[in-house]
Structure 1
């Protein structure tokens, strides 16, 4: 049963939203041939439109922050409300009914992953400087973790940090860095002790992205956009007070970020991506392409919708645990895994429904647009932890299955 506190909070959120934005159209109802048929997971906007998109996100985040909804679970001294994750989820549910700017460029990585890491590990004056700026929308943050030789095996990072007095000099290359082109701050993992076991010789730093020696190069994706980047660090000098945690203690910092990453990625979306799993949308597509009578395709559609429904119930169970004051267990890891798999299965199902129409634009509404999601599916199986890594974690740590045989070096990483 919903408490009086939750009802009051939801009513407050609605008053705030009613005062600033309009109600959103029904995103689940499908009228074939009407509206935008985009199925993009990643942005492919021209540069000028992308800058306007980011600016709208900043402005809406600032309005949220100034009205007490910018960091609902955050400490009051940084502009937060000091409320529970359940209040945060309740606000998201209420806001989904309104036509607001998409703030994913700020929230998915910066506010969802890096903000909590700064709160947990930064020095007080660094928290004072960056946390209000991030949650007010003034600063965007990126995650400088992956490297050409260190993706899933994050403990193999080779970017070096060498101490010189009260500064550190960073040299190396990061890759697949989302939103780096818009960011003011980055959280970097570096190698500070090459003689220590891999995960014990890492130190984490906050890197202002305008520091001399930081170069961001976009990576063009086959979807047409450039959401990811390479970031080169050449003799980048960082003050020691921008270090997070202890010297050679960066693995603990990284785990804080990664735990928040699982929860952030592991949820079904709304809008174009959410429509990919909408029964109304998929059945309308089959009727429009004269494939509704294909029994094999209808059986696959049923399997797809059952998986989506199961994931929805899994997320609901995690929410019930939060309401009861219990931290979710493996639900978020399973949800993250299913999120990528469900969208991948949906894209492949639609490609079989459409046939040649998904690779050649006939001008027909709601057909070729699915190419945007289909081309994004390889990334969905990698971002936030590869499917293979997630399956190993769930098999070994949740189901208690025997560990996969690994080398001595890999054993050090898992310890």
Structure 2
């Protein structure tokens, strides 16, 4: 894009973006679409083929937007971006949110908003750099290979091992709760490269091609019905050192970078699960507005969502300087999901668990899926600890393993 575009004001940019959307002939929500038809599912409940079709539809849209200069608004021009600001990007997202575009998918969000920015921060080799633009354009999808059966919230306890062998690393271990691994081409992986130092210091990060020999992906069936998560088994997988992210032993810093991007983006997921319009419609169709308790509960829910919109606008205008803004927004978001579930359960009661054909049963996909995000990206308890220590300045929780070599920690 030309240098003149990079000097656009947010208002000028918004006018240009709105005109582009109008030229694409994309229907507007609220005018050409019933807002109550939005999926209530927090996690997809689709067959493999249907979820793949959704992903292809979404990545086709990402490519269309990217090729029009609207795919990486706040990225430098060297990555195909527009060289604009996050305020411009927020304006684009607001306009896009008013239109009937393909449904979001967590794997695409992880690729474009978590892993691609992490690779930009750790711009170490040409091989890593060459992955970024295809990620932004939707040509390449990547998942997070972080959590393990014995290392969830205590991620630094991970046991997957990486051993140096010449110019390669040989990786063996198991990952779990990996969103979208069955559709991804790459994964950002954390592995232990030195068991003789404290757990946070002996980790190294890599980009791993998921078609490499020795990798097996097994989808996990969730209680909400779908298979968004996976187990990933790695057996003597060879990865060139050129795909190492950051320095050897500094994988924890890389992980914190990625998790920081995840928390920063979590509060923007206002369309995940049922919407506030659907909750209001539910209250109207069930006569819940006549119940003073339910009416008060719905009012609290509406206020919470309105405050979230205000907070999102403020975040776009004022960069976070606390270092924990993402944790605060993520915690607020999971609380909104819980609040929505509690309201729906109070309204529907037994109808929530019986599919009588009225459509009420669809809300189970929200109620059963919402608790998952209280764990994903760092549990609510982890977020509260970060806020307490880094924002409020409270003493850190005592940890007996802070200086103990990983090898000597009981497991």
| Fold in common (TM above 0.5) | yes
2:88 maps to 87
Structure 1 residue ranges, 4+ long, deviating more than 6 angstroms after superposition: 27-31
1:412/1:74 CA distance change after superposition, 3 Å: farther
Listed one character per residue, the Cα deviations across residues 232-257 of structure 1 (whole Å, up to 9, x for unaligned) are: 11000000111011111111111111
1:122/1:360 CA distance change after superposition, 3 Å: same
1:234 maps to 235
- C-alpha RMSD of matched pairs (Å): 2.3
Shift of 1:41: 1.2
1:298 maps to 295
1:395 maps to 388
Shift of 1:168: 0.4
1:117 maps to 118
Give the 5 Å matches for 1:51-70: 51-70=52-71
Distance of 1:49 and 1:142 partners within structure 2: 19
**Structure 1-normalised TM-score?**
0.90
Distance of 2:8 and 2:131 partners within structure 1: 34
> SS of 1:312's equivalent?
helix
> SS of 1:179's equivalent?
coil
1:364 maps to 358
Shift of 1:299: 2.3
Of 323, 330, 347, 1:336 maps to 330
Of 330, 347, 354, 1:353 maps to 347
1:151 maps to 152
Distance of 1:211 and 1:14 partners within structure 2: 43
> SS of 2:41's equivalent?
coil
Give the 5 Å matches for 1:198-213: 198-213=199-214
Distance of 2:88 and 2:273 partners within structure 1: 25
> SS of 1:135's equivalent?
helix
Of 3, 6, 9, 2:10 maps to 6
1:68/1:41 CA distance change after superposition, 3 Å: same
Conservation of the 8 A alpha-carbon contact between 1:57 and 1:105: no
1:284 maps to 281
1:308/1:7 CA distance change after superposition, 3 Å: closer
2:409 maps to none
**Structure 2-normalised TM-score?**
0.91
2:192 maps to 191
- Structure 2 residue 314 is matched with structure 1 residue 320: no
1:194/1:316 CA distance change after superposition, 3 Å: same
Listed one character per residue, the Cα deviations across residues 159-188 of structure 1 (whole Å, up to 9, x for unaligned) are: 000011110000000011011111111000
Listed one character per residue, the Cα deviations across residues 162-219 of structure 1 (whole Å, up to 9, x for unaligned) are: 0111100000000110111111110000000000111100000000111111111001
Distance of 1:190 and 1:94 partners within structure 2: 40
1:138 maps to 139
Distance of 1:30 and 1:347 partners within structure 2: 22
- Structure 2 residue 306 is matched with structure 1 residue 309: yes
1:273 maps to 273
2:216 maps to 215
Shift of 1:327: 4.6
Listed one character per residue, the Cα deviations across residues 294-325 of structure 1 (whole Å, up to 9, x for unaligned) are: 22222222233333333333223222214xxx
1:382 maps to 375
1:182/1:203 CA distance change after superposition, 3 Å: same
Distance of 1:4 and 1:133 partners within structure 2: 26
1:22 maps to 26
- Structure 2 residue 331 is matched with structure 1 residue 373: no
Distance of 1:140 and 1:21 partners within structure 2: 27
Distance of 2:60 and 2:194 partners within structure 1: 42
Shift of 1:95: 1.3
Runs (5+) with no aligned partner, structure 2: 1-6, 406-411
